[in-house]
C-alpha cells in the first residue's frame, strides 16, 4: 500500500475550492434546501452570524429595520447562521428579523466562510454583492444602517 506524503494531501485540500451546495444551506425552521442563486435582486447581502456572537446579536435588529425600509426587489438579504436550529429559534423568538434566516449545515464552516472571503473566520461577516456584474465587497464586524446604505450604493454604482 502506497502512502501519500502529508504535503501532497495538504496541497490537495488547498486546491479544492469550496462553494456551498444546496445541501449545505437550509432554512433554519424546516431544513428546506436553499441557494444564494435563488436571490434575484440586483444586489444581495449575505450576513454570516451565530447566536453566541455578541456583535451579531446587536446588529440584527438594525439590519432588520434597514431591510424593511428598502424598495421591494432592490436588495435581497439573508442571514446564514453557523449554529443549531434550536439556538436560532430561541434567539429569533426574542429578536425577530424581517429577512430570511438560513443555516449552514455543511461539514466545514471554516471553508464555507473562506469561500465568501472571510479568511480569518470572524463573525459577524457581511458580503454585499451584485452577482450580474461580479462586484463583491466584504465587511468584517458589525454593520449599521449607514454602512449598509453606503455598501449598496457602491454596488449599484459599480454595476451600471
Residue 74 has pLDDT above 80, yes or no: yes
Is a pLDDT exceeding 70 seen at residue 8?
no
What does the pLDDT read at residue 160?
Answer: 80
Q: What is the mean pLDDT of residues 101-125?
A: 95
Query: With 0-12 CB in 10 A as exposed, 13-18 as middle and 19+ as buried, what is 14?
Result: exposed
CB 35 within 8 Å of CB 22: yes
Cell of 95: 429578536
Q: How many helices (H) and strands (E) does the chain have?
A: 5, 6
Q: What domains can be seen in the chain, in order of their start residue?
A: 25-159 (3.40.30.10)
Whether the predicted pLDDT of 18 surpasses 80: no
- The yes-or-no verdict on residue 16 having pLDDT over 70 is no
In this prediction, residue 9 has a pLDDT band, given cuts at 50, 70 and 90, of very low
| 21 vs 95, more confident | 95
- The model scores a pTM over 0.75: yes
Q: Can you spell out the DSSP letters for 15-62?
A: HS-----GGGEEETTT--B--GGG--SSEEEEEEE-TT-HHHHHHHHH
Percentage, residues of the chain above pLDDT 90: 84
* Cα angle: 17, vertex 18, 23; to 5 degrees: 150
* Omega before residue 124 within 30° of 0, cis: yes
Q: What is the pLDDT of residue 23?
A: 62
Beta-carbon-side half-sphere exposure of residue 37 (alpha carbons within 13 Å): 5
SS3 158: helix
Question: 45, 74 in Cβ contact below 8 A?
Answer: no
Amino acid at each position: 500500500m502506497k502512502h501519500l506524503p502529508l504535503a501532497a494531501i495538504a496541497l490537495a485540500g488547498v486546491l479544492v475550492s469550496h462553494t456551498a451546495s444546496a445541501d449545505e444551506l437550509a432554512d433554519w425552521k424546516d431544513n428546506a434546501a436553499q441557494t444564494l442563486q435563488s436571490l434575484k435582486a440586483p444586489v444581495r447581502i449575505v450576513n454570516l452570524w451565530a447566536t453566541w456572537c455578541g456583535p451579531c446579536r446587536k446588529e440584527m435588529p438594525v439590519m432588520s429595520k434597514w431591510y424593511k425600509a428598502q424598495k421591494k426587489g432592490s436588495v435581497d438579504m439573508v442571514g446564514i447562521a453557523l449554529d443549531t436550529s434550536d439556538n436560532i429559534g430561541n434567539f429569533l423568538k426574542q429578536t425577530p428579523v424581517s429577512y430570511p434566516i438560513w443555516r449552514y449545515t455543511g461539514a466545514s464552516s471554516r471553508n464555507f466562510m473562506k469561500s465568501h472571503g472571510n479568511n480569518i473566520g470572524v463573525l459577524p461577516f457581511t458580503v454585499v454583492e451584485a452577482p450580474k456584474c461580479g462586484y463583491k465587497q466584504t465587511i468584517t464586524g458589525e454593520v449599521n444602517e449607514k454602512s449598509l446604505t453606503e455598501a449598496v450604493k457602491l454596488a449599484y454604482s459599480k454595476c451600471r
